[in-house]
Amino acid sequence: MRITVIGTGYVGLVTGTCFAESGNDVICVDIDAEKVARLREGISPIYEPGLSELLVRNIKEGRLQFTTDLTEGMTDSALVFIAVGTPQGDDGAANLNALWAVTDQIRETATEPKIVVVKSTVPVGTNAKVLARLNKESKHVHRAASNPEFLKEGYAIEDFMKPDRVVVGVREPEVAKVLEELHRPFLRTNHPFLSMTPESSEMTKYVANCMLATKISFINEMANLCEALQADINDVRMGIGHDRRIGFQFLHPGVGYGGSCFPKDVRAMIALAEQKGLPAQMLRGVDQINEDQKHVLFHKLTEIFGKEMSGRTIAIWGLAFKPRTDDIREAPSLVLIDHLLKAGAKVRVHDPEARENVKEIYGSRLTYCDRAYGTLEGADALAIVTEWNEFRNPNFDVMKALLERPVIVDGRNLYELDQMRELGFTYHSIGRATVNPEGVS
């Protein structure tokens, strides 16, 4: 099947590459000529495990192409996927300007009827507006469908190739059949293909992300309460996670969620509820708890060193909002860095993939280290923000020798309390007792 994917951001590039990998002829369209030129050479603009290899292979085998010309990109395509960004607007709702621009371009340049599939995350009711806009004074009768993505950054290839489910929103059974045929190679493990109305599919995407965000904010609020009441959130998490009605997924306490999906999707749902005169009290709480949680590591540092942070050197491990990605959008690390710089601290940072993205924001105000241990040289404390695997089993003797003071504030609960006590570290984590064997301050 010949497929067009408009937009080569995270969703569009993964979608186009994975469809090509399953044997389709895919052409991806983007207005960024420089990005398209790099993609033609097999250079991915994002870090996603496994993506570069698939990109290079499918370009080489002729199944995957890139262009800036929409007319060329749509020639002979049975399906046109829209995967442009829908960032948060000033009012909290999704900004659909790019979506409308692409919709109008499809209408104006299509030389035959198209099935236009909206892959972008959009407010409920958007697909109906896309359909109306496609067919307004058009020479052809186009059809529109919805196909929300459920990709976890860092695991996107696996999620696409082996989805829990595929959701499509359609108006005609024949469109559902086309989309089911396209996704059949990915559903061999009997996971469901769920066909519903476009409105229900649009809502499914938002509800899924809001539910997961709610679990994260809930466990973080409980973790803070555990810490205040001298309970241990890890014990509590085990106690509730074995309840099959609850489970363990997304119940890891930390410094809050970030990225391109959860923050903006929660706020988009709040805005949508307000448009309908509903208060969205739970979602407002989810968002506020998460924003507050991003400040927790700085508060712990001020508990250790007092309000006078000026002149202190703080090492940070982890800058991306989660491991296995270079994405720093809404990342908790940025909140911590902002606090530390404002307080006059010196900041040394390491992340396996996200350093350059952070450097574009902060420039020479930070010290960027190629190795994790390099950040520790002369530092008064280490703050762990992202749970990259390489941080889980470090050489603690080396760490202690490099640090000016044996102080760790761990936003991901990577280490055991008894271990930290035996090693002589002052150790602050999330929702657990503080370890302070030497009374370091």
Is 261 designated active site? yes
> Binding site annotation covers 218?
no
> Binding site annotation covers 386?
no
> Binding site annotation covers 251?
yes
Q: What angle do CA 130, 138, 198 make, to 5 degrees?
A: 25
> Binding site annotation covers 103?
no
Please pick, among 28, 210, 226, 261, the residue that the annotation labels catalytic: 261
Question: Token pair for residue 17?
Answer: 């590459």
> Binding site annotation covers 139?
no
> Binding site annotation covers 322?
yes
Distances (CA, A) of 181 to 138, 167, 174, 184: 28, 13, 11, 5
> Binding site annotation covers 329?
yes
> Binding site annotation covers 287?
no
> Binding site annotation covers 252?
yes
> Binding site annotation covers 183?
no
> Binding site annotation covers 254?
yes
> Binding site annotation covers 35?
yes
Q: Which residues are catalytic?
A: 261
Binding residue ranges: 30, 35, 86, 121, 150-153, 205, 250-254, 258, 264, 322, 329
Binding residue ranges for substrate: 150-153, 205, 250-254, 258, 322
Binding residue ranges for NAD(+): 30, 35, 86, 121, 153, 264, 329
